[in-house]
Amino acid sequence: MKTISIDNENKRNNFLIPFLLLLSLIVLPLFIKHAYFMHVMIMVFIYAIVAEAWNILGGYTGQISLGNAMFFGVGAYTSSILLINFKVNPWLGLMLGGICAVILAILVGFPVFRLRSHYFVIATLAAGEIIMAVFLNWNYVKGATGLELPLMEDSLKGMTFSYNKNGFYYIGLGMLTILVTLVYLLTKSKLGYYFKTIKEDEDAARSIGINTTAYKLVAISMTAFFTAIAGSVYAQYLLYIDPAMVFPTSLSVKFVLIAALGGAGTVFGPVLGAFILIPISEMTRVFFGGGGQGIDLLFYGALIVFVALFKPDGLITLFQKNNK
């Protein structure tokens, strides 16, 4: 029988590797100044944030959502509209976007959490499609035309960096570090334990005093907040958004794939997933170009099939001790 040691004492030295990785990511832009490489890294950070956010609700709490793009889009649209129409600072817009996403999450979560397993998945899928349809037909947010964000002067305060990509690189890295730290602390807290217990069995969880609905709402709120923040940064980075970019179901699926590939329900799994999947999808897209549209997806799909077959708990298990 295999024994997985979960004693905290054994985990102490496990901090060393993440710390060294973080350090090398901090100094990386000093050595590599290639703009495209930096773009790929920013995309990796943004997707790592959304996958880690999905991980709170899906990986830990076991509520598989295929509608998380709605939070991403709401975050992107809230900060963009506030900036365009009301000149609200993007940082404030980002926080307000997060709050809007939390409100949406509670409104969606309240009815949807009555459903379990695959019915829940279908409901989140439908909710995501509904939100996208709303934004496609809403004149105030310019419908399918999308929003063009004003180009302001470069400043950290205005979250604008048009001359080099270091600004967004460090914003992405900083946010990802904060989120990963929070998720790590979460797993050591009552909330984290309750999330995991809900994933195991809801009836048993209720019988040992866990208000499952309340804690699931907490989980979806945290997920929504961080997904929306990533959405705001994404909009501010690209300076243009439309519903097909930030709301599609394919994007929601991508969030799940990244987390599942890296290892759902682990602290570093989703980050690892983003570091593997995003470069692959970017590289294959560039390599095959417009002529080979969809070929990148072939690689993508093949990789997922292999992971599902040989490392169903995610690639992170390659780095864990005592794996099968």
Partner 1 sequence: MSIILKVENLTKKFGGLVANDNIDMNIEEGMILGLIGPNGAGKTTLFNCISGIYKIDIGKILYGNKNIAGFQPNKICKLGITRTFQVVKTAKNMSVLDYVMSGAFCRTWSSAKAKNIALETLKFVGFGLYEKRNLLSRELTLSNKKALQIASTLATRPKILMLDEAMAGLTKNEQMDAIKLIKKIRESGITLIVVEHVMEIIMSIADKIMVINSGKKIAEETPEKIANNPDVIKAYLGV
User: Pick from 32, 200, 290, 310: which binds partner 1 (CB under 8 A)?
Assistant: 200
Does residue 311 interact with partner 1 by CB under 8 A?
no
List the one residue out of 43, 22, 50 whose CA is nearest residue 279. Answer: 43
Reported as type and span, the H/E element at residue 241 is strand 240-241
What is the smallest separation between the CB atom of 103 and partner 1, expressed in angstroms? Answer: 24
- Token pair for residue 259? 């987390």
Q: Rounded to an integer, what distance in angstroms lies between the CA atom of residue 259 and that of residue 267? A: 10
User: Pick from 193, 288, 299, 319: which binds partner 1 (CB under 8 A)?
Assistant: 193
Within 245-304, which residues bind partner 1 (CB under 8 A)? 265
- CA 97 from centroid of its chain's CA atoms: 15
Does residue 181 interact with partner 1 by CB under 8 A?
no
Which one of 126-134, 146-154, 189-197, 217-225 is the stretch in contact with partner 1 (CB under 8 A)?
A: 189-197
Which one of 93-101, 145-153, 162-170, 203-211 is the stretch in contact with partner 1 (CB under 8 A)?
A: 203-211
Q: What end-to-end distance do the CA atoms of the chain give, in Å?
A: 11
What is the smallest separation between the CB atom of 142 and partner 1, expressed in angstroms? Answer: 45
Does residue 188 interact with partner 1 by CB under 8 A?
yes
Which one, 97 or 265, has the nearer CB to partner 1? 265
Which one, 194 or 255, has the nearer CB to partner 1? 194
Q: Rounded to an integer, what distance in angstroms lies between the CA atom of residue 223 and that of residue 243? A: 20
Please give the C-alpha separations between residue 171 and each of 139, 160, 186, 208, 234, in angstroms, as whole numbers: 32, 11, 22, 41, 11
Does residue 14 interact with partner 1 by CB under 8 A?
no
List the one residue out of 253, 228, 254 whose CA is nearest residue 241. Answer: 228
Does residue 194 interact with partner 1 by CB under 8 A?
yes
- Token pair for residue 218? 């907490």
Does residue 160 interact with partner 1 by CB under 8 A?
no
Which one, 1 or 16, has the nearer CB to partner 1? 1
Which one, 153 or 200, has the nearer CB to partner 1? 200
Q: Rounded to an integer, what distance in angstroms lies between the CA atom of residue 43 and that of residue 104? A: 25
Does residue 6 interact with partner 1 by CB under 8 A?
yes
Which one of 71-79, 184-192, 220-228, 232-240 is the stretch in contact with partner 1 (CB under 8 A)?
A: 184-192
Q: Rounded to an integer, what distance in angstroms lies between the CA atom of residue 179 and that of residue 268? A: 11
What is the smallest separation between the CB atom of 117 and partner 1, expressed in angstroms? Answer: 15
- 148 φ, ψ (degrees, to nearest 5): -105, 125
Does residue 7 interact with partner 1 by CB under 8 A?
yes
Contact 256, 263 (CB under 8 A): no
Instruction: Give the count of residues interacting with partner 1 (CB under 8 A).
Output: 28
